[in-house]
Amino acid sequence: MCGIIGYIGSRNAIPVLINGLKRLEYRGYDSAGISFLKDDKIGVRRCAGKIKELEIFIRKEKLKSNIGLGHTRWATHGKPSEENAHPHRAGGIVVVHNGIIENYIELKEGLKKKGHVFTSETDTEVICHLILSYSKKGHGLEQATKEALKLVKGAYAIGVINEAEPDKILAVKKDSPLVIGLGDGEYFIASDMPAFLKYTRDAMILENGEMATLTHKGVSVSDIYSNRPVKKKVMKITWSPAMAEKGGYKHFMLKEIYEQPRAIADTIRGRFSLEKGEVNLKEFSLKQSDLKKLKKVFLVACGTSWHAALVGKYMIEDMARVPCEVDIASEFRYRRPLIPGNCLMIVLTQSGETADTLAAQKEAKRLGARVLTICNVVGSTSSREADGVFYTHSGPEIGVASTKAFTTQLTALYILSVALAKAKGQLRAAEITALFNELLQLPEKVEKALKCDDSILKIAKKFYRVRDFLYLGRGINFPIALEGALKLKEISYIHAEGYPAGEMKHGPIALIDNDMPVLALAPDDRVLEKILSNMEEVKSRGGKLIAVATEGNTRVHAHTSHMLFMPETNYYLSPVIFSIPLHLLAYHMAVLRKCNVDQPRNLAKSVTVE
Ligand code: G6P
C-alpha cells in the first residue's frame, strides 16, 4: 500500500505534490519521491524516509513545474532506499505505482535479455521498461501503456509521464485505488481523496481497466480492453480532510477492520498456483527438500501476533503433522529452549521491530534454528535478520490495536501450512486444490462477515457498561477467544479473559453470575457439541450468553438470542472469519465508552524496548 499523486495545471506542481503526499503518508512512509517536467526534461528527486525529508532535500532547488507525479512508499519488493523509491524511470518514461506486480521476475528477465538495465529491486520498474519498449516501437503513450499492461499480472494504480509528450499524465488502475480530482483548469490523480481536497472537491473514481488521460484541457477516460471512451460521473466530496484520510471512517481501527478483504487478497496474491498445486514462497530461502526434513517448528511472537502463532500450531500440526511449540518471545529468550536439528523458527511480527521478538529470533539463530519471519514491514529488522520472509502485504496499520495484520498473519500461516504439508506428503493433490479454492473465497467471506456490524453494535449497546467479559473457544478458535479478550481490554479497558471452554469448570465458572457476559465461539466444527454443553453451563448459572456461530446453525441459536452468524468456511480458516465480529465488538464497546480507540492509554503500536 503506497500513496500516489499527480498534478497538471497552472500552479507550481511541486508544493501540490508535497502537500498531497503528506495527506497520503498514512498509506506508507518509508521513502518518497517526485518527478516533474522542466524545459521538457524529466527530473526525479527521491529519498529514503518520510515526506518531511524529501521536502528538506528539494527545498534549496526551488523547483518549478506545471506537471508532476509523487509517491510515498510502503515497501513490498525491495528495501526502503533511494534506489527503490518511486518515481521509477526508464528513458523518458516515469512511473509511480501502488500495488503488486506478481510476474515481475519473469518480465524483468525477459527485458534484461533485450538489453534493459534495471536500477532497483522493485516490481514497479518493469512497468517503465515495458512502456519504454512499446514507445520505441512507435506507439504513443496511451497505446504503449495499454500494450505493457497486457503483459502485467497483479494489482496496480499507476501514474505515467512521458518526456516526449510533455503535456500529459496517464493514470490506469486495476485492483488498487485511484481517484481523479477535477479543478478549474487543473487536474489531479491520487490514491485517495485527501491528497487534493485542498484544491477541489469534484472527483471521479476510476474503475478496474480504466485509463484516464489528463491534459491542461481536461480529463478523458477510456477502457483499456475495449479502447472505448467511458463517461464518468463526477461526485462532490463532502468529507473533511481528516475524515477522508480515514476513508470516511471515524477511526483508523475501523478502516483497517474494513480493509481486511483487500489486505487478505494481497497476502494471497501470487502465492500459489492452483493449476500446479504449488506454493510460491518467493522471499523464503528454504527449499522443498529442507521443508521435507523439518523435525520441529517453533512459533514465537508477542501480543496479537502471539495469538496468530497459537492458531499456527493448530494449522501446522493438523495439516503437516510436524510438532510445533509456541512461545511468547519474552519467555523464549530467557528459558534456555532446546532447539533440535532440522528445526524452523517462525517469528510473527507486524512491525518487525518488537524488541523481545527480535531478541528471541537472535537467540534461536544462535542455537542453530533457521528463522522465517511472517512480517508486514518490508526492510524491518526482523525481515533483515531472518533467513526467510513471508511478507503479509497488509499495508500500514495505524490503529494501535492490530486487526488486519492479525488476519493476514493467519492467512500466511495457512499458506505455509499447506506448503509444509505438501513437502511432507501429508496432503493429496485434490486436498491441496480444495484448500486453495477455499482460500480464494476468503476475501469475499470476510466481506460478508463484516455485514454483521449492525447486529454487533446492538450487542455492544447492551453490554458496554459491564466490568468483566469472558470469551470461550475451543480448538483452533481458542486463540481467537484470547484475541477477542485482548482487543476488548486494550481499547475499552474492560477486564476480559479468553479461555479454552473445556477449562471453564476449572476456575472461571466461579465468576459466572447474572452480570457476567460470556461470548462463545461456536463454529460448525469437530468440537461444536462440546462448546454447546459449555454454553449450557453458562446459561444455567445466569450468565449472559452471546454466541458466534456458522450461518444457518439453529442448534446454537436455541441456546441464546444474542446471536451472530458467520459465513461457513473450512476449519483452518474459521479463525479468520471468527475474528471479525470480535474486533468489531471491541471497537463498538470502546467507542460507546468514549475511549481513544486508535491510541489506547499506555499502549504503543510497536514495543521496541524490553
Ligand atoms: C504491541 C501492539 C500489538 C502487537 C504487539 C506485537 O503490543 O500494540 O498490537 O500485536 O505489539 O507487535 P508486532 O509488531 O511484533 O506484531
Ligand 1 in reach of 303 Cβ (< 6 A)? yes
Which of 2, 128, 452, 595 is catalytic? The answer is: 2
- Together in a domain, 175 and 284: no
Distance CA 579, CA 596 (A): 21
Ligand 1 in reach of 434 Cβ (< 6 A)? no
- Evaluate if residue 282 carries a pLDDT over 70: no
What DSSP designation does 87 have? P
Within a domain: 610: no
Within a domain: 331: yes
379 versus 97: the higher-pLDDT residue is 97
Give tens-digit pLDDT for 172-196. Answer: 999 888 999 999 999 999 998 889 9
Burial 243-256 (b: 16+ CB within 10 A, else e): bbbbbeeebbbbbb
DSSP H or E stretch at residue 520 = strand 517-522
Ligand 1 in reach of 98 Cβ (< 6 A)? no
What DSSP designation does 160 have? E
Pocket test for ligand 1, best of 304, 347, 602 (most atoms within 8 A of CB): 304
Model confidence band, residue 165 (pLDDT cutoffs 50, 70, 90): very high
DSSP H or E stretch at residue 577 = helix 574-592
Give tens-digit pLDDT for 393-425. Answer: 998 888 889 999 999 999 999 999 999 999 999
Ligand 1 centre distance from Cα of residue 297 (Å)? 21
Provide the whole-model pTM. Answer: 0.81
- Together in a domain, 224 and 271: no
Residue 261 contacts residue 423 (beta carbons within 8 Å): no
Within a domain: 580: yes
- Together in a domain, 407 and 527: no
Within a domain: 603: no
- Together in a domain, 85 and 160: yes
CATH number at residue 164: 3.60.20.10
Which of 153, 530, 539, 605 is catalytic? The answer is: 605
- Evaluate if residue 145 carries a pLDDT over 70: yes
How far are the Cα atoms of 197, 270, 300, 519, 571 from residue 304, in angstroms, in the given order?
Answer: 36, 26, 11, 19, 20
Give tens-digit pLDDT for 566-607. Answer: 999 999 999 999 999 999 999 999 999 999 998 888 877 777
Chain position carrying cell 534495471: 118
Pocket test for ligand 1, best of 257, 300, 305, 381 (most atoms within 8 A of CB): 305
Is-catalytic flag, 505?
A: no
Average pLDDT over residues 517-542: 91
pLDDT at residue number 232: 93
- Together in a domain, 26 and 69: yes
Ligand 1 in reach of 394 Cβ (< 6 A)? no
3 state DSSP class of 271: coil
Show the DSSP H helices in 48-94 as ranges: 51-59
How far are the Cα atoms of 154, 245, 315 from residue 157, in angstroms, in the given order?
Answer: 10, 18, 35
Q: Which residues contact 4 (CB under 8 A, 6 or more apart)?
A: 24, 69, 70, 71, 86, 96, 97, 98, 157, 158, 159, 178, 189, 190, 191
- Together in a domain, 417 and 454: no
What is the distance, to the nearest Å, from the Cα of residue 273 to the centroid of all Cα atoms in its chain? 21
- If you take atom 8 of ligand 1, which residue's CA is the nearest one? 605
Atom of ligand 1 nearest to the CA of 382: 15
- If you take atom 2 of ligand 1, which residue's CA is the nearest one? 605
Query: Residue 301, CB half-sphere, CA atoms under 13 Å: how many?
Result: 27
Ligand 1 in reach of 343 Cβ (< 6 A)? no
DSSP string, 425-466: T-S-HHHHHHHHHHHHTHHHHHHHHGGGHHHHHHHHHHHTT-
Within a domain: 470: yes
Ligand 1 centre distance from Cα of residue 380 (Å)? 14
Residue 523 contacts residue 495 (beta carbons within 8 Å): no
Ligand 1 centre distance from Cα of residue 325 (Å)? 20
Ligand 1 in reach of 305 Cβ (< 6 A)? yes
Residue 214 contacts residue 179 (beta carbons within 8 Å): no
Residue 266 contacts residue 395 (beta carbons within 8 Å): yes
Is-catalytic flag, 173?
A: no
Average pLDDT over residues 285-302: 89
Within a domain: 607: no
Ligand 1 centre distance from Cα of residue 305 (Å)? 7
Ligand 1 centre distance from Cα of residue 608 (Å)? 10
Which of the listed residues 210, 242, 274 is the one where a domain comes to its end? 242
- Together in a domain, 227 and 252: no
Ligand 1 in reach of 330 Cβ (< 6 A)? no
- Evaluate if residue 283 carries a pLDDT over 70: no
Ligand 1 centre distance from Cα of residue 255 (Å)? 18
Distance CA 374, CA 390 (A): 5
Ligand 1 centre distance from Cα of residue 52 (Å)? 26
Model confidence band, residue 240 (pLDDT cutoffs 50, 70, 90): confident
CATH number at residue 422: 3.40.50.10490
Ligand 1 in reach of 350 Cβ (< 6 A)? yes
- Together in a domain, 468 and 435: no
- Together in a domain, 212 and 323: no
Give tens-digit pLDDT for 73-131. Answer: 988 888 888 899 999 999 999 999 999 898 999 999 999 999 999 999 999 999 999 99
Ligand 1 in reach of 376 Cβ (< 6 A)? no
Give tens-digit pLDDT for 3-32. Answer: 999 999 999 999 999 999 998 887 777 899
Which of the listed residues 242, 274, 300 is the one where a domain comes to its end? 242
Retrieve residue 379's grid coordinates.
526492510
Atom of ligand 1 nearest to the CA of 406: 10
Ligand 1 in reach of 349 Cβ (< 6 A)? yes
Please count the other Cβ atoms lying within 10 Å of the Cβ belonging to residue 509: 16
Ligand 1 centre distance from Cα of residue 375 (Å)? 11
Q: How many domains does the chain have?
A: 3
- Together in a domain, 367 and 456: no
Within a domain: 583: yes
Which of the listed residues 221, 242, 263 is the one where a domain comes to its end? 242
Average pLDDT over residues 297-302: 98
Q: Residue type at 259?
A: E
Handedness of CA 397, 395, 417, 585 (dihedral sign): positive
- Together in a domain, 237 and 253: no
Ligand 1 in reach of 351 Cβ (< 6 A)? yes
Lowest mean pLDDT among 181-190, 375-384, 497-506: 375-384
- Together in a domain, 121 and 224: yes
DSSP H or E stretch at residue 296 = strand 296-301
> Beta strands 88-90 and 154-162: pairing type?
unpaired
Atom of ligand 1 nearest to the CA of 304: 10
Residue 471 contacts residue 307 (beta carbons within 8 Å): no
Round to the nearest angstrom and report the end-to-end CA distance of the chain: 30
Domain hosting 94: range is: 3-242
Within a domain: 260: yes
Residue 3 contacts residue 25 (beta carbons within 8 Å): yes
